[in-house]
Structure 1
């Protein structure tokens, strides 16, 4: 992490550009992330009423979550490319229409294909907001990347904590349409406000020239600004890509299936509700806490320890379920999510350190497509594994993926010309 004098300089320069504190950009980004979070974190609570109302088998709805992950992930590269060149305004307005309209449309859906289309369109809006919000932190806070991306992604996880109890209490066959419509209207309104507030810093906002002491600059601005094509030629990117698939798969299988897993091992509905409600809180808080830790200590080491612990606690929650220890089960769910969910902080921060902040939106968006692999595992593949192997082995595979991602982090080395390459050489000496 940069020293205090460096941090104050970044803040002063941002104040000169914006006319107000750069932290308001993070507030706006976090608010929008919270608004679109129901697409990921509320799905497990609404799929039951939807299936019953439309007379659709639950396995058929499993593909909806897979579609969400695919479209939310793949939409980020074109959105990131546009944002790096044209700014966030128009994109955020489009995302408001897609994400808000998608949830409102669910209230009126009568066929399975309509669910697929509406959730997929809404997911594109979520993807746009996600890449804009995360990279707003990267662009305005090169000195506090871990903390600020942590705040944004914390809002994405924790924002739904207010929505889950509301949905669980009211998403009956008779009332679910009103619930979906109300959530959609809230999403639309918040994103429209965000589209007015967000902006990007100008290219020369830091005033870097040949006389600037680059050693005092954050890694994301002192190193080489990799283009996406150049980034794809480095082995580090492909290792990060594989790690992202494994870590996201482990993360999403718990998010998408925790209610059904709790019911499978025999816990009462209240235990499933508590786990589903507290899960996004644990995921959200961890992103801010461990994001700050990753600013203060070597990021890849924090990542390695975090993912290994995430895997261990997944094995522990399986054990708690088998012995019907309800309190321990909820605690293990929270710890498992606490250590796995910061993947959405570690990866964008490390990408900025390795490949620079100039093209951060498009570069991280390419890496984020790895979430498709994790989503397919959590949705379609997990459904197949549950049918053939059962819930316990399926969740155990998720634990193994988390541990593998943590061990792989130890192999990472900064690419040539990155802002961390000199630091790594000093550490090696």
Structure 2
């Protein structure tokens, strides 16, 4: 983490709760940045908008890329899989560099902006598909990973007492920012203009990310908002409810300590399964809709609705998890995600366009909601100080889920057709809900196992 220089001298003290966790209180957001902390929701949200098209709109350009470069459909899906691989792979090392101070947030965003531009440039002018794998798959994937990790963890540091809704809002930018590009790639881009369109999109995304990154700033370690007493119940009902349903981690776990807990690897596997389903839907909803006879405009609309609901769902589900608890909300989302896969398959079999649109939106909601849930849950379970690295470990499961959902998804569809692939995806979603039931914060005793003090004193007498 970068060292924060305060513009003025302010009284600072550190307090410790009964679990031994340290809270730094005294500085306000304006003392640290010279501006309110909601700006550290706005700018990370802008950064996420800048990389959304690279994943959620990419398959909408499949037909044009195929005709322009003569790449097979298999290459298109594996390109997306490689992009997702690098986007997820960079999470943990980026977190380590960020927390050590060797990679300031601003520099991470600038590097990510450059990678995003190089990705679109390679798609426009690649003389061979290998260049696209390097430019889009590797450079753009790494750039997106740097941006994603920096944005998601930044907002959690600035809102440690009520991170669910804010994390979800920022995470949502990763989906609905792609909506105009879905229509652009599907309805406007063709062989006559694809190079200019792709380069223009790359420039726009690069500028948006770089401008947002210029304003990034980390709070000091252990920082806690001055208006929320970490040792007492808050008078704000929203804060009180959020902390009761999702209490702070019992300590600040280092990555080495976190990986020794079984719950981290349960979260890793659960995210692998659910992210794989989400990526499978992103990759195959468009070709499935076309094979079922739906018009191209309808399919583009379905994909756009999926992206809109995917992004909106991330913000809404964060707010819901603040109210009802992260784990309970995750179980619900996994069930919804699994059932939606059965619904998409049924809609195509029935030839029902309205049902297809509905199931597409429901699938988008479930697929988007998992990411802010896991981001906030990682901070809830392991603390904010090392959240970039700890969430990087959890998020690394997308290394596999990206390849499985996109590349291996194509293999499964070829072998079992869409029916077998969607049934398998739905079943994995239901199984993930069962796994989520067993997620609990490490080091925190279960309420039903806490034994009362047989000789209470002081406040325990009340």
Contact preservation (8 Å) 1:105, 1:181: no
* Deviation at residue 11 of structure 1 after TM alignment: 11
TM-score, normalising length from structure 1?
0.92
Partner of 1:102: 119
Partner of 1:387: 414
Q: For 2:367 and 2:78, locate their aligned partners in 1 and report how far apart those are by CA, in whole Å.
A: 23
Q: For 2:365 and 2:113, locate their aligned partners in 1 and report how far apart those are by CA, in whole Å.
A: 29
Partner of residue 63 from structure 1, selected from 68, 75, 78: 78
* Deviation at residue 45 of structure 1 after TM alignment: 0.9
Q: For 1:282 and 1:179, locate their aligned partners in 2 and report how far apart those are by CA, in whole Å.
A: 26
The CA deviation string for residues 139-173 of structure 1, in whole angstroms up to 9 with x for no partner, is: 00112211111111111111011221122122212
SS of the equivalent of 1:22 reads coil
Partner of residue 107 from structure 2, selected from 72, 90, 94: 90
Contact preservation (8 Å) 2:77, 2:407: yes
Contact preservation (8 Å) 1:88, 1:195: yes
* Deviation at residue 233 of structure 1 after TM alignment: 0.6
Contact preservation (8 Å) 1:247, 1:343: yes
- Confirm whether residue 265 of structure 1 aligns to residue 292 of structure 2: yes
The CA deviation string for residues 328-377 of structure 1, in whole angstroms up to 9 with x for no partner, is: 11111101221231111110111111100000001101111101221111
> Counting helix residues as a fraction of each chain, which structure ranks higher?
1
- Confirm whether residue 137 of structure 1 aligns to residue 155 of structure 2: yes
The CA deviation string for residues 247-297 of structure 1, in whole angstroms up to 9 with x for no partner, is: 001111001111001012221212211111111101011111111000111
Contact preservation (8 Å) 1:104, 1:183: no
Contact preservation (8 Å) 1:11, 1:21: no
Contact preservation (8 Å) 2:117, 2:202: yes
SS of the equivalent of 2:177 reads helix
**Highest CA radius of gyration, 1 or 2?**
2
Q: For 1:260 and 1:71, locate their aligned partners in 2 and report how far apart those are by CA, in whole Å.
A: 24
Kindly tell me: are residues 321 and 171 of structure 1, through their superposed partners in 2, closer, same or farther at Cα, counting changes over 3 Å? same
Partner of residue 196 from structure 1, selected from 206, 210, 214: 214
Contact preservation (8 Å) 2:252, 2:385: yes
Partner of 1:41: 56
Kindly tell me: are residues 214 and 359 of structure 1, through their superposed partners in 2, closer, same or farther at Cα, counting changes over 3 Å? farther
Kindly tell me: are residues 354 and 51 of structure 1, through their superposed partners in 2, closer, same or farther at Cα, counting changes over 3 Å? same
**Mapping for residues 322-341 of structure 1, pairs under 5 Å:** 322-341=349-368
Kindly tell me: are residues 385 and 265 of structure 1, through their superposed partners in 2, closer, same or farther at Cα, counting changes over 3 Å? same
* Deviation at residue 131 of structure 1 after TM alignment: 0.4
* Deviation at residue 93 of structure 1 after TM alignment: 1.3
Q: Which moved more, 1:346-355 or 1:80-89?
A: 80-89
- Confirm whether residue 174 of structure 1 aligns to residue 201 of structure 2: no
Unaligned runs of 5+ in 1: 1-8
* Deviation at residue 189 of structure 1 after TM alignment: 0.8
Partner of 2:128: 111
Question: What value does the CA root-mean-square deviation take over the aligned residues?
Answer: 2.1
Partner of residue 306 from structure 2, selected from 265, 279, 292: 279
Kindly tell me: are residues 409 and 343 of structure 1, through their superposed partners in 2, closer, same or farther at Cα, counting changes over 3 Å? same
Partner of 1:291: 318
Contact preservation (8 Å) 2:25, 2:225: no
Kindly tell me: are residues 367 and 202 of structure 1, through their superposed partners in 2, closer, same or farther at Cα, counting changes over 3 Å? same
Q: For 2:201 and 2:100, locate their aligned partners in 1 and report how far apart those are by CA, in whole Å.
A: 32
Q: For 1:258 and 1:365, locate their aligned partners in 2 and report how far apart those are by CA, in whole Å.
A: 28
Partner of 2:142: 124
Q: For 1:251 and 1:151, locate their aligned partners in 2 and report how far apart those are by CA, in whole Å.
A: 18
Q: For 2:367 and 2:450, locate their aligned partners in 1 and report how far apart those are by CA, in whole Å.
A: 28
Contact preservation (8 Å) 1:29, 1:133: yes
Unaligned runs of 5+ in 2: 1-23, 235-239, 452-462
Q: For 1:204 and 1:397, locate their aligned partners in 2 and report how far apart those are by CA, in whole Å.
A: 44
* Deviation at residue 223 of structure 1 after TM alignment: 2.2
Contact preservation (8 Å) 2:248, 2:381: no
